[in-house]
Amino acid sequence: MKNEQVTELLYQALETEQGGIEVYTTALKCAVNADLKKEWEEYLDQTRNHERIVLELMDKLGIDPGKDTPGRLVVRHIGESLVEAMEMAMEGAPPEAAQLVACECVVEAETKDHLNWELIHEIAEKAKGEQRDELKAAYEQVEEEEDEHLYHSMGWCRELWIESLGMPAVLPPPEEEKEVKTAIGAARAKMARKELL
């Protein structure tokens, strides 16, 4: 395994969680649907906890969390752009449209977040000794929450878009009702949505 790239992944993971806090804070200002708001409040709390977990992990592995790498700066730029996109929507668009923008921004942020933790799980399997134990302890606390963040947010995004198009929507989305935690579960929930209408 390339240790330098493992460190890079952890920098990007930390930056994703830190950007995620800003993304959810802004997304909450865009939320109109009460159930969605409740969901995002929970995800914001969990994201704050994820930041803490990555910081702890870096501390244990002897990595300085204050260092900026070129890759980390790109992640920061994308996070800030997502926040800016939501602010733009709040200024110029009706509340329901800004909510849709926020849903899309959350899905984009969570796609990266989910990938990071999937990769942290992968490297934990290959790592040895203390590094393995620390990586494993971290992803075990986070991975299931990241599954929910991504798959449930994708469901919200799709159903709120469908509702905005004047078609019957399943709200809260089937991914949430079925507590989907895998890609295959998300695909099944999406396929079954028409039976729930």
- List of residues contacting Fe ion (CB under 5 A): 17, 47, 50, 110, 113, 146, 149
Q: Which is nearer to Fe ion, 16 or 169 (CB)?
A: 16
Q: Which is nearer to Fe ion, 108 or 159 (CB)?
A: 108
Q: Which is nearer to Fe ion, 153 or 193 (CB)?
A: 153
Other Cβ atoms less than 10 A from the Cβ of 110: the count is 25
Other Cβ atoms less than 10 A from the Cβ of 22: the count is 18
Q: Which of 146, 148, 123, 145 lies closest to 136, judged by CA?
A: 123
Smallest separation, CB 155 to Fe ion (Å): 15
Q: Which is nearer to Fe ion, 15 or 146 (CB)?
A: 146
Q: Which is nearer to Fe ion, 104 or 146 (CB)?
A: 146
- Using CA atoms, how far apart are residues 42 and 178, in angstroms rounded to an integer? 18
Reading phi first (left if > 0) and then psi (alpha if -120 to 50, else beta), residue 147 is in: alpha
The letter for the amino acid at 157 is C
Q: Which secondary-structure segment (H or E) carries 55?
A: helix 34-61
Q: Which is nearer to Fe ion, 22 or 110 (CB)?
A: 110
8-state DSSP, 180: -
Smallest separation, CB 62 to Fe ion (Å): 23
Smallest separation, CB 107 to Fe ion (Å): 11
- Using CA atoms, how far apart are residues 150 and 154, in angstroms rounded to an integer? 6
Smallest separation, CB 153 to Fe ion (Å): 9
- Using CA atoms, how far apart are residues 191 and 194, in angstroms rounded to an integer? 7
Smallest separation, CB 183 to Fe ion (Å): 15
Smallest separation, CB 126 to Fe ion (Å): 22
- Using CA atoms, how far apart are residues 23 and 40, in angstroms rounded to an integer? 10
- Using CA atoms, how far apart are residues 40 and 153, in angstroms rounded to an integer? 9
